[in-house]
Amino acid sequence: MLAGVCVLSTGCKDGQDEVDNTPLPELELTADDPAVEISEDGLTATISVDKAAASFTLGVVSNLDWTLAEGNPSWVEATVSEDGLTVEIDENEALDGRDAEFRISVENKKGTLEAKIRISQTGIDAATLELSDETLEISADGGSVELGVTTNQSTVDVRKEEAGLPGCRQDNLHRRGQ
């Protein structure tokens, strides 16, 4: 009995550190979608999409609770879900492509580990313009003609010089519905 008491009383001396069982942070991203490329170390996901709206779910494997950094651009919504991280990307209606990056992290007293999610989205295709008729005939006395125009652009700027309409008055050109 005396030996047991001695062992207990000498187990922790003043100034001796206790054993720290805090685990090192672990974090890994996973994805089943071929549009999502995961780096070998599992800490970077790259999502490359065309102009259309898209949604992806990334798996997040961690031994600690993880957090999503604030400050994503307005065209990307990243939310924590049961399956990991859901990333919803709005349609890009601009000509130029766009890029975004956000981070998730795990942290404890032994350190911090971050993973990056990078998104690259293309812009819309080159401008298209389709006319309802290939040829318009206007008598020498003048008159009016209705021409249907279909485009993937939000505005159309028609100038009589560029349009080859020498007698056309600019103020008579307008968009239907305006």
Interval 117-143 mean pLDDT = 78
> Is the same domain home to 91 and 143?
no
At residue 2, the pLDDT reads 46
> Is the same domain home to 72 and 47?
yes
> Is the same domain home to 95 and 175?
no
Q: Which residue has the tokens 């056309």?
A: 168
Interval 134-146 mean pLDDT = 72
> Is the same domain home to 64 and 139?
no
CATH number of the domain that residue 32 is part of: 2.60.40.10
Interval 87-106 mean pLDDT = 94
- DSSP three-state, residue 58: strand
Average pLDDT along the chain: 80
149: phi then psi, degrees, rounded to nearest 5: -125, 130
Calculate the CA dihedral of residues 42, 36, 91, 68 and round it to 10 degrees.
Answer: -20
- Count of residues making up the chain: 178
Give me the percent of the chain exceeding a pLDDT of 90: 49
- Please report which confidence band the pLDDT of residue 166 belongs to, taking 50, 70 and 90 as the band edges: low
> Is the same domain home to 98 and 146?
no
Interval 95-122 mean pLDDT = 94
Report which listed range, 103-107, 132-136, 147-151, is most confident: 103-107
pLDDT (tens digit per residue) in 15-59: 556 788 888 899 999 999 999 999 999 999 999 999 999 999 999
Q: Which residue has the tokens 């942290």?
A: 107
Residue 152 belongs to what domain range? Answer: 127-178
> Is the same domain home to 98 and 141?
no
- Please report which confidence band the pLDDT of residue 90 belongs to, taking 50, 70 and 90 as the band edges: very high
CA–CA distance, 104 with 80 (Å, rounded to integer)? 10
> Is the same domain home to 163 and 111?
no
151 found inside a domain: yes
> Is the same domain home to 57 and 139?
no
At residue 7, the pLDDT reads 45
pTM: 0.60
> Is the same domain home to 138 and 115?
no
- Supply 62's token pair: 């961690």
175 found inside a domain: yes
Q: Which of 95, 92, 47, 100 is nearest to 73 (CA)?
A: 100
> Is the same domain home to 44 and 110?
yes
Task: Tell which of 121, 137, 168 closes a domain.
Answer: 121
Model confidence at 122: pLDDT above 50 = yes
